[in-house]
Amino acid sequence: MTETHPELAAWLARQEADFPAWAQATGTPETWDFSPASLDVLEALIRERYADADAIGDAWDSTFVQVAGWYVGEIARRVNDGAAWHYVPADPAALPGAPGSPQSGWTRSPRVARGPAVETPRVFPVSALRALLIEPDEDDDEEETAAEWGGPLRDALILEA
């Protein structure tokens, strides 16, 4: 097993520590049993709480969004044999746009994957929450993202090539 990057380890520990209070704050703490079925409840909660992708983007760093993303990732990790949390730290030597560069979506984004390589089947769980609220538009550069991630949160659990 590879060593967990310290930034990822801290993020995981923070979300796990915040989870009990997060579950209580939803008003249905008994729902959050790490089952795929509980994602239907989380999806409804996200759609109720945030009007659109911009609204969830504005709340990106909130405890609610981060713990919800961690929860999705934990389910993906548990239901996909061999899946684990992975992380690409910032790398000042990375070429612009490459993993590790500030321009890359891979950089500093916790993901669950079947392997550490960026090409492996993976899910960015916090991004999957935002993708629920993306409305594809032919003029929108996020259309590909919506097509890839859109749909039920349960779809984010499937880590296949």
DSSP output for 95-112 = PTTSTTSTT-TTBT--EE
Nearest one of 5, 16, 43, 35 to 152, comparing CA atoms: 43
Nearest-10 Cα torsion for 33, 37, 43, 45: -50
For 81, other C-beta atoms within 10 Å of its C-beta total 7
Burial tier of 83 (Cβ tally within 10 Å: 0-12, 13-18, 19+): buried
**Per-residue pLDDT for the chain (161 aa), expressed as one digit of tens each?**
457 889 999 999 999 999 999 999 999 999 999 999 999 999 999 999 999 999 999 999 999 999 999 999 999 999 998 899 998 888 888 888 887 788 877 778 899 988 777 777 888 898 899 988 887 664 455 544 444 444 568 777 777 65
| pTM of the full structure | 0.85
| Predicted pLDDT at 143 | 45
| Predicted pLDDT at 107 | 76
